[in-house]
Each structure stands twice: as structure tokens, then as C-alpha cells.
Amino acid sequence: MKNAAMKKLALLFLSLSFIACQNEKKTISSSDQVNETDLSFKYDSVKVSSNVLVKGNENLTDTTKAVISYPVFSDQKINQFIEQKVMKFANEGEHYATYNDFASSFIKNFDAFSKENKEYGQTWFLDAKVKVEEQHPQYLSFLITFVNYEGGAHPNSSFTYLNYDPQNHQEILLDSLINPGSMPELTAIAEKIFRKNEKLSPTASLKDNYFFENDKFSLNQNFSINKKGLKFLYNPYEIKAYAYGITELVIPFADLKDVAKPNSLLNPAN
């Protein structure tokens, strides 16, 4: 009888242990699904070409093209955010709903121009790209590049960063990363780095070689966060002549300790 009782007790413990393990597995699996953010993506593109052929040097013919490449995420909310932002940057008095609308409109404008200027011997081009610069569970950074030519001495180009919180599905703005009222302090830190990069003394004038308003250094809102710190980008013509191209400025995390919010992305602990 004793052996029978022991066997029943052992079977009871095994059953309880099995049930506990199954419940634990279910709990872990459910939690993972709630917290996991799918940031997988692949690149795609649209390309629209004009039917108008332009004869160039050595009797070679070419045509105007508009190409837009962009990432496609598994999460549609991220895709919608990117596309809406690109269309906003591309808006030149017209409303574009999709990448294809924008590319087609560029070609339509060239075709109309070519029809009125039949002796015009040049093609146009549009090359737009959205590149994933940084990819983390709490942070996505995109660089939107527009390079286009519509006649003139040289192509036009612009480089714009987008910062996105994939967990809360919202854009990350600079003010949300720094303490309230700390923008003047952040600007002062950045100016020291800027002057060092440009080989300028602390008191050298910015009047002759730069385009800052009132000849006073200022930060823009075109930023990204990388492994080195907080990075700002100035476009051609923004603070310097076109020939100088873009100007980049990186503020190391160590220099941000007094202006960064404790729990923001500018805190290296995050």
C-alpha cells in the first residue's frame, strides 16, 4: 500500500510540474509578441521615363528619368510615415499621394517644357532615395536624398534626416530629447565644435563666409543620432556657398550630459 501511495504522489507532482511549465511557456510567448517590434525591411523603387528623346553629343539619344528608391517595412505604419514625409518635402505647390505620383509629375513637367522649347538639347533627371541610417528597437533614422536637374548650371540637392519612434509610432523631434530651455546651451556647445571644425577662432566673424541669420551661429532641426552622438547636417546653400557641399557637425554624447533628458536617446545608457 505504501508503494502505491508513493507512486500516486509522484504522478501528482509530475502533472503539476508539467502544467506549470506549460503556463510559463505561454506567458513568455505572449509577452514577447507584445513587446517585439518587427523592423525588417527591403528596398523597392519606382522609375518613370519620358518618351521624349533628346539628341546629345556624338548623336547619342537620352531621355529624362525619375527614380525614387525607398525602404518597405513589414509594419505599414512606418511605410506611411516615410511616404507622407517624402511627399511633403517634394511638394512644390502640388499634392502627391504616392511615390509614383511624384515621379510621374516630374516627367510630365519635363514633357510640357520640352514641347514649348523644342530646341532645348538637355534631359532632366530626378534621383530620390530614402536610406535607413540607424535601426534600433526604439529608434529609426532615415536620410532622404533629393538630387534633381531641371536646367541651369548644376543639379540641385538636399539631404534631410527623419527620426522615428517605432514603438509609439511617432516622429522624434529635437525638443523631445533635450531639457526644456536648454537650446541656447546646446547651440553654444555646437558652435565651439563648429568653429573648431572650420578652423575659426572663438571670436572670428561669421559674416563673410557663412549665411547664418544676423551672422550668428544657429542649429537647424536636421539631425540624426548615431554611435558618436548627435549629428546635424546643413545642406548646400544653407550656411555656405554651393561649392562647399554639405556641412556636418557631431556633438559627442559626453558633451550632451547637461542638456539631454535623462531617459532620452541622447543618454548613452539608452
Instruction: Map out the domains of the chain as residue ranges.
Output: 41-171, 174-256
Q: Please tell me the least confidently modeled range out of 2-6, 30-34, 104-108, 168-172.
A: 30-34
Quote the pLDDT of residue 90: 76
What is the mean pLDDT of the segment spanning 197-209? Answer: 96
Over pLDDT 90: what percentage of the chain?
Answer: 72
The length of the chain in residues reads: 270
Quote the pLDDT of residue 50: 96
Over pLDDT 70: what percentage of the chain?
Answer: 83
Quote the pLDDT of residue 88: 87
Residue 17 scores a pLDDT above 60: no
End-to-end Cα distance, the chain: 62
Helices (H), the chain: 2-35, 76-90, 99-116, 183-197
Query: What pTM was estimated for this model as a whole?
Result: 0.82
Quote the pLDDT of residue 91: 66
Report the C-alpha gap between 124 and 142 in whole angstroms: 26
What is the mean pLDDT of the segment spanning 65-72? Answer: 98
Domain spanning 41-171: CATH superfamily:
Fervidobacterium nodosum Rt17-B1 like (3.30.565.40)
What is the mean pLDDT of the segment spanning 110-131? Answer: 92
Cα 58–64–67 angle (5° rounding)? 130
Structure confidence at residue 93 as a pLDDT band (50, 70, 90): low
CA distances to 30, 34, 45, 51, 77 from 103, rounded to whole Å, are: 43, 38, 11, 14, 22
Are domains 41-171 and 174-256 of this chain identical in fold? no
- Yes or no: say if 48 and 65 are a contact pair by the CB < 8 Å rule: yes
Mean pLDDT of the chain, nearest integer: 86
Quote the pLDDT of residue 6: 41
Residue 27 scores a pLDDT above 70: no
Architecture of domain 174-256: Alpha-Beta Complex (3.90)
Grid cell, residue 178, equals 533635450
Report the C-alpha gap between 104 and 96 in whole angstroms: 10
Structure confidence at residue 38 as a pLDDT band (50, 70, 90): confident
At CB < 8 A and 24+ separation, what contacts does 47-52 make?
A: 47/103, 48/100, 48/103, 48/104, 48/106, 48/107, 49/107, 50/107, 50/110, 50/111, 50/114, 50/123, 51/111, 52/110, 52/111, 52/114
